[in-house]
Amino acid sequence: MRSFLLVASLILFSACIETGCLSCDDGNPCTHDSCSENECVHRSLSGPVEGCSGSGGCVEYTCSAGSCILQKTVDCCGNGVCDGGESHETCPMDCGMSCFDGVRNQGEDQVDCGGPCDSCEDPEMNYLKKLSSLRDIWRSSTGNYTVAVRAFNEDRDMKRIKSASLKSYSEADQVRAKLARVEPAPDLDELDRLFNETLALYMLSLRSMIYYADTSRDSHRVDANRILADALDRDRQFVALYNDAVDRYNLISINCLNHELDGGEEGVDCGSICRRPCTEVYNVTKYIVVRSEGSPSNLVLNVSAPAVEYPPYQRVLGSYQHPSPARTEVDDEGNRRYVYDMDLSAYGVEELWLTETVELTRAPRPVRSDAKYFNSVYLLGDDFSETTDDICFRARMLKGNLSDTHDVVDRFLSWIIENVNYELNDEELGAQYCYVHRRGACDEHADLFVSMSRCVGIPARRVTGSLVNASQLRGHAWAEYYDGGWYYIDPSIKKHKQAYILDNKHIATCIGEGISSCGIGYTYTYTSKKPNVRIDERLYLS
């Protein structure tokens, strides 16, 4: 995060103060001011009037109910400028992607963060970055206005300075609208207040300048200079406070983003000076509807648990099933399956509710060090993590003469990030497909990493589960490799350093299992006509 200092480069107009008798002029061009029986009367005007008229960009000034307002005049989508109330949704060709629109609408993990926007991990630093970006936009506008002011001081062209003032006002108004949609970070609301006051004063100064251009009254020009000086003073306060905040959070980030327990944290990069919590508790519910049509049948249903016991990272604090299963099966890795024995009628329907209360903790590296959880099967290829000749040739080329496991793994991660595009699909396609076509979803990214690792003798496995995303669950898969313990890695994350961070948002459902073993499996017997069995599954988070 960079710091910046503001130079007061806006040019103040030379001004003289108009003097004279008291009048009823309230300085508002949208009122007709008169004196009646020794009292001032201000009658509201509507439409373009002297002092409130003219256009700039896609907007124009006009009076409405006694106020000078901006209104959109034409559809300017396609002019290369995000103006006239346009947004990423209404005019993507001008506005492009927006991380300031207050809407989760372009692949973000949460509102205006994650995905194409800055990470959601550090709200304070993200907020500072957004303020910096918005101020850069505003400073670009003031720079153009300054050029117009210099020209005006030479030629006194009222029409040109009015047009420049209108345009700069419209641009500042857009910045203020974006700022209103950015939620201030904790303890940084003073920055929000100062920036808002700076923009408001700047816009008020421009309005006074527009009045001056329409009326040639020096009092309006004096007001414009005075208010502009106040805006610059607020901006200097904002910059000083902003720089202090950046320095403070940069110091915190040194200890809160290095994946080590070294800065007074309660856990690795969490707690105490690090604002992110070390643990989160979720209730994960799997709701299943089983339908059978055709003839009575006996159905044996195997359902993987919504979450597994996987300390120290993941602990199941409580479990609830309705109805209760016939039995529960647990394998060597801790994967649990609930087995139901159902007698279904010809048109039978059964509902199942499975809920696990899960505690997730930001885990140190390795995620798990118990030797008993190592299995030599993780050196062999399987249906989805194939160890084909071309994948293994690439893996050996990337490994070269490297001997350190973490260095080799980092080579694989870099190659996948640079060469494989993320693309959603409706089925699991495996490592070979991902390697050949250079694309795939999280499953294929994890499978390819596992295949490459196994090709060079590094035990690796896929982990299937869910990712907590903006208070919702979505299916996800990542990988682990073994080097005296199991280390987390998510090759589908396109930011290299974040691929190694196991946060408290990944809920593991199946360790070392493919999707075919991770979901729902069933067998059935029937007496006459073969039934049509349909199974619907949904996940909920609370």
Range with lowest mean pLDDT among 54-58, 193-197, 238-242, 505-509: 54-58
Per-residue tokens: 392: 């293994």
205-241 tens-digit pLDDT: 999 988 888 888 888 889 998 999 999 999 999 988 9
Strand ranges inside 275-313, DSSP E: 279-293, 297-304
For residues 531 and 6, which has the higher predicted lDDT (pLDDT)?
A: 531
Q: Where in the chain is the domain with CATH 2.60.40?
A: 283-362+519-541
Q: What is the CATH number that goes with domain 283-362+519-541?
A: 2.60.40
pLDDT(92) > 60: no
Q: Each residue of 264-317: pLDDT tens digit? A: 676 667 777 676 777 888 888 888 888 888 777 787 888 888 888 887 788 888
End-to-end CA distance of the chain: 35
pLDDT over 50 at 431, yes or no: yes
Which H helix or E strand runs over 358? strand 347-361
Mean pLDDT computed over 84-111 = 57
CA distance linking residue 466 with residue 473, whole number of Å? 6
pLDDT given for residue 4 in this prediction: 38
Among the residue ranges 99-113, 242-256, 333-347, 448-462, the one predicted with the least confidence is 99-113
Give the model's confidence band at 194: pLDDT under 50 very low, under 70 low, under 90 confident, else very high.
very high
Q: Which residue has the tokens 């006009």?
A: 62
Give me the pLDDT at residue 534, please: 82
Q: What is the pLDDT of residues 321-380, one digit of tens each?
A: 888 999 988 887 788 889 888 887 777 788 889 888 988 887 666 776 665 555 677 887
What gap in Å lies between CA 292 and CA 345, rounded to an integer? 7
Give me the helices (H) in 216-318, please. 218-256
CATH 3.10.620.30 domain residues, the chain: 371-502
pLDDT for residue 214: 87
For residues 517-531, give the mean pLDDT.
Answer: 72
φ/ψ of residue 54, rounded to 5 = 100, 165
User: What CATH class is the domain 371-502?
Assistant: alpha beta
pLDDT, position 499: 75
Q: What is the pLDDT of residue 102?
A: 58
SS3 annotation, 134-167: HHHHHHHHHHHHHHHHHHHHHHCCHHHHHHHHHH
Q: Is the pLDDT of residue 93 over 50?
A: no
